[in-house]
Structure 1
């Protein structure tokens, strides 16, 4: 966490992304660690969404997560929501709403409302889904839906009169005070749009005024005041009755509000100048609420601190200092090299270096032998050099220091040499016997190693032979040489069996694969862990009834890719042939026509650098060696747009120049027509309701609503397949008589294979209903906007 804090506050923006993978890895730790990490990710995801978008699925809620972890993951998913991944997230949210954890379900509904306000393409879809939740059996879910719908309707109240009427009917069943107060506020704000419903609601509220919650009582008083100003003929007596009840209420806030409203709306001699502006005061246009993340104001605290966790400045918290106006001296960044202090030694003596101890020791006798050799060096200076080399097997560098010690000691202590000579001789005899035993043991190990180590030990034997020869020249015992050779033979195979590998870092352990694209990918089967975590959610879009059919209509319209003036004689146009791409099942087939309008030959036409969004892939055409003047050639490309209308940018290059070009697909070309029966169509449509359904009302002349005209207009815009109806043999007017005239079209998205079901339901007169059901809510909303004007025009 400290490293993440350093990168976040100090590093350049381009380098801060390296911490995302490490933070996501910490989510597998204990829940206390998860809580702190998720809080910091929630703060970072507000400012830099791109850091965590590849790891979107790592923030999916698990059934075993505690409520505090679920809420934080929900917050992060909301911050990462965009047009590309909102379809996947809405399907996740639909599952979360059905959770047994009611606090988490209520938080999910608030999240849906935030997504609806931040992404305009799914506002209507989310609103329809929330309206469907009003019929939920759980009262908490219904109450939270009412509160969120109230906030959404403040943005566009004139377009949703039917929703307000539907919510007015819920007053008889909803008992949660916040929800009842929200419904009364909505009716009061739109009392002029529902003139028949608002007075009746006030009548019902007057009956139950004394038993209502204080929050509901305040909204009843406000509703009475607004109706008194707009429809006093019907509601004057009701309002006066409610004001009299509020006058003697136990809560002083309600008594004060009653006195204030009475003086403001009921004219009398004591009325002030404000009574003239009562209507402007009560019926003024209120600004729509701004749904923001609760972590928005935490960015001024340092990440990973107690103050950031509590959102309150804790005692002892130190704020980050501002960047200096004048750049500091770069020499302060130079690291000072600290020299190691030399150990104190007596004057005239040099401290001898101790031999490095081997990790794998033969026995404890070796250590005892080294101690004995050191004692001999002190007692017998004349033999210190030979004893140190033969007893401990140290390198030739130690012999120099030993000889210096022997020369110094011999000059100062020759008197003690004769007294200890006999004792030193006795110790050397004992050492010789023990070395002889170790020599025979080492020879036995050498025989066991056999031929497999003969070649490996040849170099060691040569080196040991040189060391033994140097030891013999200095008068030392040369018996430890075979033992050193045997030890080298034992260590060599161990090193070969465990070859040293390069350093392994945590970031190199890619034990989880980040999602390459934020869109939903089709999977033939779900892993058991995913099924356990998201029970009831089927991400697989493959079905036995989905069979790709031939396109009903192939448009001949072309789009300009490169103008001949900008391309210096090279012109390019592209079109969509509406056929399966030969380069990949998830790619859209694109045909490009290249024309040479210049007088000279254009050589080496190819695709250069590509600038694609995350997840978008492109299969380019083979380079064209040359194109003669007035010549033309058609090539094919495959582009995976990831079920979005984002632009694919690349360079179209020749031998001399490169030109930046863009291909943006119409939403109708991201589909493949499918063949299905009417029964299967209705079955799939029943599974794609709520937030997966968008609709619009069409108004046009009746002669433009014939089945042939509808088919021609629809397939001209989108690559849809017609679904045969079981009532095609019935005359059109007979079908209209029974209100059964429906034209159905079906397709699937190229990338994920999600169904796209389009229904045009004709009603009496000149109206029709256009309904689109799909999991890809963004594509559905865009397709609805493109089909609506085409079907409405004459």
Structure 2
């Protein structure tokens, strides 16, 4: 009823302002209600009453709500800002102050709403975003969908005003670096960046496409996902079209060839004749490289022989000639069809190709070949030089195979060639006459004339023109021209033995000696070695941009957020369902604390010794109850002094924790001797999330920013329960509380001991006894809230299994499922 009353007030407040004003006091009282939902509803209705006289009351309510402990109420305050601004734009300056405060909020629930208010009220105040830019980028992944859209739009405008457009030259330089140096598994990341450059001007496109053409010959898989990016547009210049064709040909395989052939059919109809001819050549290359579509491509090219465009027909003839060289016996009908086209085709290359094909297969078309020779003898004097040479070759082959019908014709053609204006034709004529028409002066070669003219010719190789360009460095002028340009430096081969890495060590130059009291000698530090290749390259969190210290006011706000978060939690917990509380109470009777099945010995780097100036720190999770609190995860930190001097006063400095997270630090360590090591314990309440706990690890002289991020499996404690209790709890946690996936692996990976070890290695769970050999059950509870986490691995027939997780914590369940699946699948 209360909600209906709220709706009524919002609807009729403008028409009946007096009655609406009487209800204001009710909403003001509701703004102080302990329940966050009531506070938020009251603010929502109050801001929806569009009566100008209550603007001061609305402003006061928004100010108070913006500092509320509940993020849900703060979210509604951000929504109310937009409503108040539309009602009274003169309140803009005061609203901007509230927006500035809410932009500093670290809750993902508030981020999208306050950015929406920013876009509505003051989109030109870019200065408000500066200090919150990185935070918004980090929160973007966890914000709800509509909030992500708003933030992305705002960040897009921000980036276009604050950042310089990236140089295409830099992208190309990084791409060639990865290509020549990086392992194959890592080189694939450059493909997306190169494809993005194809949106640039035509000059940049030309260079990028040339480099992609070279790469795609050796590594097709890099660019196969972006196949459609290389489809030709009608607005592309010819040089770009031909390069895209080259790349499409390199990427063609059995899976995508049918799609590409349909695309090529469209290209053949293009008004750009050079491009259409290049497409026909591309179809020929696909036919030679993919045998499954050879006949399809050949039939398609034969259909093009009836095209109205003479250039298309001529190019088709040339390509068909090359394809028939590979399998001439099977396609006698095609040769006959091409012989009939000889009268209509005028392009010299095509006519020469037809004559060459007939000459090579003259014994297979014994009735057609002499007639073709008769027709071409009549037009010999008017033919192109290329065609004349093939007429001479055809006459010689027919003279050797069918002398009875063609002897006189061949002699006539040889006489015409003897007096031709072109000396190449005259020379070829004399050569052929001496071979096929023996006389007293003929040598021994005339005996082998048939073997010379009718020998089996090797089929041509249709290769990419970019095949041999990979020895040039990508992105260089030499690679573009396919020839070594002046000043080009070739890339050296990889050395068989690695040179001495010590040449890259940096010596520390002592500029001035420190003053020391008389009679006391100061120990000199030995030269510190940097960048040693023998050391492991480990990522350390101290290199993050968050290492900058914040101002005192921000620190104060962080403390307010963290101290007030407990109140927020209590108010939020009031909205939990009573059924959930009853279920937790019942389950606590059925389950008891279990012991870890397995404690993995892997450690994580907290502080690298190079970054810590000799102080190294590693941490691991011992999977034992935390002595500092029931809701905390136990973390053990091992500190090592790798220097030759004592490190004093090691302690935890400033803490930068998300809202609600708490940390119990170790007691300060007075000193750590050279080469000494010590292990200390900490307790961290991660609030059932994998958010990072950031803090400063300090010594007497320095502070280092470090962070601990827990794997989701370390946020659990094992639970001991019976199979009956497990099934009962699982039945209560079905529906939306159930997450599952299918696993495929070898049968040996589904042995009971293997599954137990793999699951326990990922998550701190307890094994539940099972009466079925094909079902493995594990139980745990979250450290912070004590919510049950039930894991089931059910083996199916063959090599599949079903992984099921039941819990109220659906986010943790999805993350745990994502981590368990690859572990159980691998051998």
Question: Could you say whether these structures have the same fold, taking a TM-score greater than 0.5 normalized by the shorter chain as the test?
Answer: no
With the length of structure 2 as denominator, give the TM-score of the two structures.
0.43
Tell which structure's C-alpha radius of gyration is larger. 1
Higher relative contact order by CA 8 Å / sep ≥ 6: 1 or 2?
1
